[in-house]
Chain A
């Protein structure tokens, strides 16, 4: 049955009709009285009684709001009487597409929900959802699809179910929020579902068809919303298959994995990130949870960093994936190691762009780890104090009062004020106009602590600033403000002090220093280059950290590195060329090209190789000159250098480079000609 057929459909079942009537009465009560008023409380109590009757033996009461009908457990129903129409209009006006209430919802939760709905104005569906989160109401779930999107989705689903048997069950699987309540399938319905779930090709076809239909009917739908609908659809199928046994569920999981592997990464991330950990924590996590649990570790952190890079740390998709990943490993430690491995790989592969996202993820994990530890310790301290007070009251009392009084010391208050600024910067409730002033106040705080000779504290605060900036829009004024806090000498002094305190150079120890480098890249580069030149062990954790950090700052390296290359002593040149190589930044090529005339063959050879890897078309001419240069006095080293230059030219993806190779291949002889031909064949 489609919504259009509702005219001929049976009326709403009586318990549902009653529930709706009492729901609207409670809403009216909420508009007339405060939530503490007896009449309001009575109306919500009656509503809860009616909810129990309406929910029957299910876990959830679910209702979806289509254009002129209500989608209940099994089908569409006309809105019916005046209360029904008011009910529908209320949710339409708010932009809420479905409502699911758990059978065990508490009276307080229901009161708060009704109060929020009563006080909401048109279009404030998102605010109602935020209110539920604020008040920690977990028994009520709201769907937020813009009404035009939802209408489009309704048409899309209508199109999708055309020609399918058991259209009603398909509608339920698509419209219902993930895992909200059970599905009661008849054997024939179950069979149809199994046909889909057992065969990856069938499933892939169905999902593509659904997605195509959604895109064509709901034109303004976002990618996140598409992911949410498809994710929810897959979760519901896994829930519906619950009774078919572990084997069938496993087959379905494999089919979903195969389908997700075949689709674009952005869509895959949206679908996997659609699974809310709140639902997963409560009950069966569904197929998406199973997939995350069984996913290869490397793939999982790849998903995380992609979601972070695309949506930022506050996006729902990233947060869902982040929490599920943490739930899988119990702690952040294993994830941190995985992230560190991926960072090393990105460094080796000269991928500075991806390094920034990895570093951001690393900092988030460290922050999470520290917060967890801090909160555990604090909870323990609360328990200890309560117990100790019972046993040895006086002494403990004095100690605790001393501790509390110390928090009022001027320096403690300065630190608390700095922490407050961080909290405000990270708060979604902050007024936008306050961002810049807050950063200015933060600048005063960190300068104060640095001048007080507290580098570690300064570093910790700067790390929080780095995480806060990740949540802010990337505006130049913010970055300029932060950059103005310290001069280059101060950044060097700070980094030097922090380095002196390092022992292991592990991620957690280096997190403050990493943040400073990211916040003041131009000013930190000089210090980092100097540290790199002084490295004694290339395999040490310090070397790994320095290399990774310098590569992540590659866009800021050229000017400084060029000037160092120009005035460097010969002994420093190999490492400087290494750095130029690692940076993969073509702006550095002029400084390297100058080294082609260096007196030392090894330096010349290293410079040639570096130019090839930098792949700048501007390097073709000096490299060609080296190859084409004829000298009566050319020895073995000269020849070797020319061969190196040919290989470098082959790495540059430009017609000009290819032309030089072709010229050598046709006009020269011997080793040079042979290598040119080989290289041309390979390209």
Chain B
């Protein structure tokens, strides 16, 4: 009789994985990257993770306060073992960690190297994680897209957790895969995937899910660009629905809004860079509407409005902004809607050295640019929509 190896239960597996992860991090703290001990620890963790990812496409870890949850499995045991580490993660706002199929040992090592100095000096850690996300296509790290303000009870947050993981995190991960490594126009399967994500977000908008409301109106301050893209898409579709556009048009606007910053995906910033924006990064930022429009216009199956939105979302109502447009009056309705949603979401998320504004502050800020940056009617409609939703919470 052959002996069947004992399969550990999931909880044991997750505990073991988590301890191995922090073991690898500690080894990297003590030794250089090429030291046999560090290589061994990283290798061990990688093998275990890889084995798991061979079965499932993703693995998500959540760190909420002093609690760790892996794949929906709470692990209270870790509170004692990792008592000092979990608060450090909280300081750098590392609340979720998703590993995707395809992660390599090099990418894992790069992530650990990025994490290590942040554990010692947490200031700006959230931004560092976000800025370097472009170089980590298979490891998504950042905040939970939830903002546990006083108005939302812990219960409602906990209740929304499962839903949030299934929706936004899943879409963020999918979007990350979609936008990762963009070298040219999107292939038909990628266009299809973007349409699927838009469709799902559209359904959330229609249903008015708590998750959606939490994300949009009490939104997370997470600087992650993929979460930003989802938010802008959701907000744009909500607004398009508010002005009673037809469903197919709403979804096309939603798709354009989802991909409005695709030109930025072309140019991730340097890993571990900490200073101000380089001139090349500045240039790439100015060029992103052009780059995005080029990519989308050449993507088969993309609706006509998507490249228009990508090109025009930084052009103001009065024709200023960038890129310089020949005839500013021709800025499309869909672009105006996306421009408003984009500005709002940018004001409501943390950016380098700028904290997110509150809902009221953001709306007041936008009010000051009425008739210049924003169309007066559209801004008014947006303001009413956001306020109405906020009051229903």
Contacts and interface: CB of A to CB of B under 8 A. Distances in A.
> Which of B249, B275, B376 has the most chain A CB atoms inside 10 A of its CB?
B275
A430 B290 contact: yes
Contacts of A429: 286-287, 290-291, 323
B276 A405 contact: no
A322 to B, nearest CB: 16
Nearest to A396: B377
Interface string A384-426: 0110010000000100110011011010011011011111101
Interface in A1-57: 30-38, 40
A36 B350 CA distance: 12
Interface stretch (A183-191, A374-382, A659-667): A374-382
A546 interface: no
A502 interface: no
Interface residues of A, number: 60
**Which among A381, A410, A424, A429 has the highest number of chain B CB atoms within 10 Å?**
A429
Interface string B365-393: 00000010001111000000000000000
A40 B275 CA distance: 11
Interface in B285-311: 286-287, 290-291, 293-294, 297-298, 303-305, 307-308, 311
Interface in A237-270: none
Interface in A340-392: 371, 374-375, 377-379, 381-382, 385-386, 389
B268 interface: no
Between B283, B291, B304, B376, the greatest number of chain A beta carbons within 10 A of the residue's beta carbon is seen for: B304
Nearest to B278: A119
Contacts of A441: 297-298
Contacts, number: 151
B6 interface: no
Contact of B307 (A34, A37, A134, A420): A420
A432 to B, nearest CB: 11
A496 B283 CA distance: 46
B56 interface: no
B353 interface: yes
A404 B317 contact: no
A131 interface: yes
Given A119-B281, A438-B297, A382 B308 contact: no
Interface string B210-245: 000000000000000000000000000000000101
Contacts of B243: 401, 405
Contacts of B287: 429
A278 interface: no
Interface string A126-142: 01101100100000000
A407 B376 contact: no
B328 A378 contact: yes
Interface stretch (B13-21, B42-50, B170-178, B330-338): B330-338
B328 A375 contact: yes
Contacts of A401: 243, 377
A417 B290 contact: no
Contacts of B322: 134
Nearest to B322: A134
Given A378-B329, A405-B245, A414-B304, A127 B354 contact: no
27 contacts: A30-B275, A31-B275, A32-B276, A35-B276, A36-B353, A37-B353, A38-B353, A121-B279, A127-B283, A375-B327, A381-B329, A385-B376, A389-B376, A389-B377, A404-B333, A404-B375, A405-B243, A408-B332, A416-B330, A416-B332, A419-B326, A423-B326, A424-B311, A426-B326, A427-B323, A434-B298, A438-B297
Interface of B: 243, 245, 249, 274-283, 286-287, 290-291, 293-294, 297-298, 303-305, 307-308, 311, 317-319, 322-323, 325-330, 332-334, 336, 351-354, 371, 375-378
Please name the 6 residue pairs, one residue from A and one from B, whose CB atoms are nearest each other, closest first. A378-B329, A119-B278, A36-B353, A413-B304, A119-B279, A404-B333
